[in-house]
Amino acid sequence: MIGWLLFTGVLVLFVLALTAEADAAGTEADTAQAQREADAWRAARIESDADVRLGSVLYAFLIADRREPGALATAAGALVAGGALQVRSRGSHGARLTATGLPLPAGCGTVEERLLRAVESAGDVGNVHDLPGVRELTAGLDDSPLTCLYLSPHQEFPTEARRRTRWGPVVAATAVPVAVAAVVLQAWIPAALTLALGAFLLRRPSGTATVRRAPRRTAAARLVQLQAQERHKQLDPGLRDPGRRYTAAEAGWAVAVFGEPALALVDPLLPRVALPPQYDPPMGPGE
């Protein structure tokens, strides 16, 4: 029994040693990742009108945070603000998006035109993401030549901790007298297991590999986001007079840059028909 108790103590130390080394490797990987991002940030360069060149829909697709409404909601905001689409309340049945018969607003692009034609064909729709062939509405956006500039490829960076913590050698050294004590007590199995744990710690590779994945957006994309926020700050729903309506172009940029609150300012019912059914609103700062 005493032999097994001794082995249990070594086993606890063994687990603590592995945990400590994993934590050290994780810290080193985080430091390496932060350095890569800092280097990318210093090297990033964008044109003074990079956001304008993208347009609001492509900006929403490539640049905006994943939890922002997205390209289709941006297009819907522009079309409703421009009068080509309208949202009608159906009481307890929710809201429906319908076409008004007005032409495509000035300044709208391919995605807005596809969305308008799709709603006209459907008659009305409870959510733009339920339209038939919804993926075709944004087809081609991911083929933009700017994609590789603003979105990182699926890239992983393995980092190997160069130094082991002191725990490993300490536990390995402790295993020897504990194994000897177990042999004296004729506890052969605990003695063998204790020596095996010590040998594992001594013979295992000198580093622990930890993987970090590249951020979805590049440093250039984050610069464009800051640029757009500054250029379109007058469209911020929190600073705008509720009685002052957006134009179609303004609505597109307001939704793309500021998200759901801008949709609600275009039309209080618009979030119901423009946001994905499983939309997860962004949390507040620091949450």
* CA atoms 119, 124, 128, 129: torsion sign: negative
Q: Has residue 286 been placed in a domain?
A: no
Residue 149: its pLDDT value, please? 81
Mean pLDDT of 82-108: 89
Residue 167 has pLDDT above 80, yes or no: no
Q: Has residue 280 been placed in a domain?
A: no
Identity at 128, one-letter amino acid code: V
Residue 84: its pLDDT value, please? 96
Who's near 105: CB < 8 A, 6+ residues apart?
A: 78, 79, 81, 82, 83, 84, 112, 248, 249
- Dihedral (C-alpha) 223, 228, 231, 237: value to the nearest 10 degrees? -140
Same domain, 113 and 150: yes
Q: Has residue 93 been placed in a domain?
A: yes
Most confidently predicted of 17-21, 73-77, 152-156, 160-164: 73-77
CA distance 45 to 54: 15
pLDDT tens digits, 5-48: 666 766 666 666 666 666 666 676 666 666 666 666 667 778 88
Same domain, 69 and 199: no
Residue 204: its pLDDT value, please? 62
Same domain, 28 and 81: no
Residue 116: its pLDDT value, please? 96
- For residue 178, give its domain range: 2-43+165-205
